[in-house]
C-alpha cells in the first residue's frame, strides 16, 4: 500500500462509556458525544488493538497510528523507534462524575502481574474542570500498612486511609506506578504509558446499570504492586518561563513522558527536530505550518508531529493554550 509522506497528524476522539462518567466532555471536544449515557473517556491518541486511532484528514486519512508506526518507524519516532513496536503513550480526556475506582497500576518490574504485550503504567493528570464534590486521592496516609489496608477493605473504610486534596483547574498530578489513586467530580486530561493493566481495590459501591452487579475487584494483585512507602501526592510544582509573549510551563516530567503547557497569542515554535511530539489544544485554536502547508486545529483536538516533521510554526487564532507532550527518555536512544 502506498504511504504518502508524513505530516502533522490529527486524530478523531474515541468515546468510551463508563458508569462513573458524565456529559461534560461535550464542552471540551468538538466531536459530538454519542447517545445520552455517561461518557467517561475520550481516547484522543490510542495504539490499542481494540480502539486504534485513525488519521482524520489529509492523504493518510483512515490509516491507523499502528499502521503508520509499522510502515515508518523511524520517521514516526526517530531514535526511539527501535525501542517500541507500538506507540508508547495513550492520551485521554476523562469526565469522572461519580468516582473512579480506588485502583493501582503495576510497575514494569512486576512482570508476574503484567500480561504478555503489556507494560507497567505510570500516568499523570492535568485538571481542566471540577464540580462541587471534586476530589483527587493519591497516595496513602501515614501508618497505612498492608495489614491496615486489608482490614479497611474488609470493613468498608478504605477511603479513610487515602491521602487526598481538592483540585484546582490547571494543576498537574503525577501518579507513578504503584500509587493508590482515585478521582471524583473532575474533568482531566490524562497521559499514560500505553497499558491497560489496572487492579481495583474498592469501587465506591457502584453497580453497573446494565447488570445491576458490582464490578470485580482485584485486591490480591493490587496489594502485590502497591508502593507502601508512597505518602501523599500533591500537585506538581510548576517551572514557568516567558519568551516572546509566549508562556511556557513545565507541568509534568518523568522518565515516561513530559508535559509542557504553552499559552500564546502570537506565533511560536512548537515541537523539536528529529523528535516526535504530541500537541493537545485545551483552549482556542490555530494552525501549524509544515512544508508551506497549513494544518488547522481547535479546542479538544490532538496533533501528532512525527519525528520527520520536527518543529513547526504555530499561529494561534486569538489566544491558544496547548499541551506539548514528549515521549519516554531512554538512555542511549
Please count the residues of the chain: 333
Residue 222 DSSP SS3 = helix
pLDDT at 141 over 70: yes
- CA torsion 309-329-315-299 (nearest 10°) is 110
Q: How confident is the model at residue 86 (pLDDT cuts 50, 70, 90)?
A: very high
**CATH superfamily for domain 9-225:** Jelly Rolls (2.60.120.10)
Task: Determine phi and psi for 221, rounding to 5 degrees.
Answer: -65, -40
Q: Rounded to an integer, what distance in angstroms lies between the CA atom of residue 77 and that of residue 69? A: 8
Nine-digit cell at 151? 482490614
- The domain 239-326: what is its CATH number? 2.60.120.10
Q: Which of 89, 140, 98 shows the shortest CA–CA distance to 259?
A: 89
Nine-digit cell at 213? 452487579
Q: Read off the pTM.
A: 0.95
Q: Burial of 313 by CB count in 10 Å (0-12 exposed, 13-18 middle, 19+ buried)?
A: middle
pLDDT the model gives residue 239? 76
Q: Where are the domains of the chain?
A: 9-225, 239-326
| Mean pLDDT along residues 48-67 | 96
Same fold, 9-225 and 239-326: yes
pLDDT at 333 over 60: no
| Mean pLDDT along residues 208-234 | 92
Amino acid at each position: 500500500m502506498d504511504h504518502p509522506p508524513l505530516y502533522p497528524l490529527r486524530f478523531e476522539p474515541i468515546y468510551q462509556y463508563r458508569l462513573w462518567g458524565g456529559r461534560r466532555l461535550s464542552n471540551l471536544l468538538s466531536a459530538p458525544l454519542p447517545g445520552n449515557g455517561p461518557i467517561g473517556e475520550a481516547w484522543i491518541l490510542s495504539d490499542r488493538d481494540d480502539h486504534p486511532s485513525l488519521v482524520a484528514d489529509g492523504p493518510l486519512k483512515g490509516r491507523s497510528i499502528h499502521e503508520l508506526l509499522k510502515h515508518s518507524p523511524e520517521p514516526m519516532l526517530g531514535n526511539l523507534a527501535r525501542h517500541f513496536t507500538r506507540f508508547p503513550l495513550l492520551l485521554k480526556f476523562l469526565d469522572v462524575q461519580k468516582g473512579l475506582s480506588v485502583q493501582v497500576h503495576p510497575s514494569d518490574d512486576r512482570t508476574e502481574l503484567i500480561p504478555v504485550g503489556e507494560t507497567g503504567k505510570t500516568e499523570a493528570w492535568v485538571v481542566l474542570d471540577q464540580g462541587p464534590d471534586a476530589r483527587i486521592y493519591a497516595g496513602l496516609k501515614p501508618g497505612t500498612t498492608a495489614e491496615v489496608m486489608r482490614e479497611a477493605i474488609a470493613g468498608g473504610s478504605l477511603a479513610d486511609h487515602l491521602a487526598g486534596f481538592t483540585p484546582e483547574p490547571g494543576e498537574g498530578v503525577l501518579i507513578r506506578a504503584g500509587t493508590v489513586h482515585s478521582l471524583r467530580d473532575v474533568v482531566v486530561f490524562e497521559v499514560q504509558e500505553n497499558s491497560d493493566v489496572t487492579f481495583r481495590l474498592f469501587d465506591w459501591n457502584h453497580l453497573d446499570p446494565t447488570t445491576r452487579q458490582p464490578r470485580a475487584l482485584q485486591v490480591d494483585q493490587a496489594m502485590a504492586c502497591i508502593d507502601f512507602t508512597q505518602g501523599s501526592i500533591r500537585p506538581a510544582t510548576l517551572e514557568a518561563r516567558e519568551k516572546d509573549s509566549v508562556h511556557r510551563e513545565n507541568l509534568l516530567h518523568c522518565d515516561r513522558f513530559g508535559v509542557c503547557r504553552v499559552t500564546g497569542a502570537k506565533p511560536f515554535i512548537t515541537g523539536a527536530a528529529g523528535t516526535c511530539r504530541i500537541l493537545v489544544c485545551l483552549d482556542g485554536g490555530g494552525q501549524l505550518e509544515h512544508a508551506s502547508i497549513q494544518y488547522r486545529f481547535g479546542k479538544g483536538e490532538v496533533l501528532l508531529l512525527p519525528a520527520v516533521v520536527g518543529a513547526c510554526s504555530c499561529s494561534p487564532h486569538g489566544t491558544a493554550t496547548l499541551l506539548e507532550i514528549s515521549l519516554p527518555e531512554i538512555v542511549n536512544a
